[in-house]
Amino acid sequence: MGGSRVKTTGVLLCLCYCINTGISDDLSGPKCGLPQIRNLLDRSLRIVGGLEARYGSHPWLVSLRSRGSHFCGGAILTERWILTAAHCFSIVSTNVSVVIGEYDQRVPDEEEQTFTVNTIKIHEKYQHASPMSYDIALLEIDGHIRLGPGVQPICLPLPSEKFPPRTSCLVSGWGRTKERGLLPAILREVQLELVEPAKCKYVLQTLRPTQQALTVLCAGPERGGKDACQGDSGGPLICPREDGHWVVVGVTSWGKGCGRSWINNKAKSSAKRGSPGVFTDVKMLLPWIKMKLREGYLTLFNQVWICITDCIADGLTNDFVVVFCSTADANPNQKSKSTLGCGTVALVQDHRTVHSLNYPQSYSNDSVCHWVIYAPKGHVVKLDFDDFDLEQSDDCEYDSLTVLGDVDTKEEIAVLCGRNVPPPVLSYDNVMVLQFTSDSTVTYRGFHATVSFISKIGECDTDTHKPRIHITHHKKPTDQVIMKLSITDNAFTIFYIS
């Protein structure tokens, strides 16, 4: 083994990866919820099925299909994730396709795209026997949605955002136009007003059998005549912000009949009672949504494995030989759907640099990159920024560099964006994780920073250390690509042998 070479370089071997997800942390900024058709509420919408929607007026809406037949709706959150209702999968859970950019189900539409489903994430507290509570699910599709004028994500609500009772909102879908009616081919929409929470709770208590309604909100007139119906389930209830952007406030969940009056419910027989439209309260379940989306990142992270053979010299050039194990092709010239150019091995050592992809050229759109940096035991990681140029936004919701204190991404140290060089950042312990995200528009130069290790008693570490690696998953790799790492004092080069 080339021991002297290892000691003189003193590297820590870490993993850097990029995934093309197109998601910002908040999903609530002005780059979502903007259809090409404006003034959606300026129409006289009526009855259960409402009116035919205009093409492009609901670019976030998707059609879920089983064996080619529509059964539920959903809403685009990111280029890979769809928001829908859990009860849509009480019977159907396999052979589900997601149709994006749909308008007229009889013909292919201009921006129509079809994907299969990779993962279905249903809320852990949802129960089929009591389907009104926690009726929410996330779908990860097999591929990336091509955004365009007729295909756009919807905004998630901000935690502090409020839409008061009587706010006029919209529901859209390919659901029945009346109770026991037919499914329409062309997308329809209906305008509903939000109901006071106390009134919503009261009317739901008049229904039989009674159900817990822990995570719901209601919308629709007491006299009936306007409602969502079978086939609309999973679609979004959207409400407008003052700036014209649309927010998914609810997920279409449940209702007693379709468009029935619910005035004086107690005076009616159980069979004739009605209810407003019942929707899952998205803001109430916002922490769950964000947690599941982050878990999706970690799943992709854990699908890349590193196999170290003690940095054995190859006997010819005295360079290190590393086996890179991955479910995806490690050759950067053959990009897979889930990588964006930095799904390779990165080397970081004391007093060396880390920087955004392509620096000093502009970083890429729609990317999420991670660097995992380990300091020697008894030391912390210090990050000194030399240059910093990321898109500025409130709460860093567009492009950002997040500094974390653990590989589980739970200990947030700092979230950075803008064009001012930040002050130095210290880790809590001997590990620091950097997470860089960019959205689908506008890129800047990125960042360039120096990594150093500081002993916990305040002295910089000068010892050298053998390379080591944190292996997040212990699985048998499906592919192995041999790489030769040629390390110099200032840089490293990766040679793909085959």
What are 449's two structure tokens? Answer: 């920073």
d(CA 294, CA 315): 43
Tell whether the model's pLDDT for residue 251 goes beyond 90.
yes
% residues pLDDT > 70 (the chain):
67
d(CA 186, CA 288): 33
All structural domains of the chain with their residue ranges: 51-289, 345-455
Please confirm whether the linkage preceding 360 is cis (ω < 30° from 0). yes
Of 109, 135, 389, 399, the active-site residue reads 135
Read off the pLDDT of residues 346-400 as tens digits, 9 standing for 90 and up. Answer: 344 445 778 888 888 888 887 778 788 878 888 888 999 999 999 988 889 889 9
* Answer CATH for 345-455 from 3.40.50.300, 1.20.1090.10, 2.60.120.290, 3.40.30.10: 2.60.120.290
Using CA atoms, how far residue 446 sits from 33, 159, 388, 390, 433, in Å, is 27, 29, 6, 5, 17
pLDDT at 45: 37
pTM above 0.95, yes or no: no
Tell whether the model's pLDDT for residue 288 goes beyond 90.
yes
pLDDT band at 15 (very low <50, low <70, confident <90, very high): very low
Of 87, 123, 355, 370, the active-site residue reads 87
Report which secondary-structure segment, H or E, holds 201. helix 197-205
Of 28, 57, 133, 233, the active-site residue reads 233
Tell whether the model's pLDDT for residue 333 goes beyond 60.
no
Tell whether the model's pLDDT for residue 490 goes beyond 90.
no
Asked if 66 is an active-site residue, the reply is no
Do β-strands 344-349 and 11-19 pair in parallel, antiparallel, or remain unpaired?
A: antiparallel
Asked if 87 is an active-site residue, the reply is yes
Asked if 135 is an active-site residue, the reply is yes
Helices (H) and strands (E) in the chain, counts: 3, 27
d(CA 30, CA 209): 42
Q: Identical fold at 51-289 and 345-455?
A: no
In a 13 Å sphere around the CA of 288, the CA atoms on its Cβ side amount to: 19
* CA-wise closest residue to 217 among 241, 201, 205: 201
Please name the fold of domain 51-289: Thrombin, subunit H (2.40.10)
* CA-wise closest residue to 48 among 245, 223, 167: 223
More confident residue, 63 or 206: 63
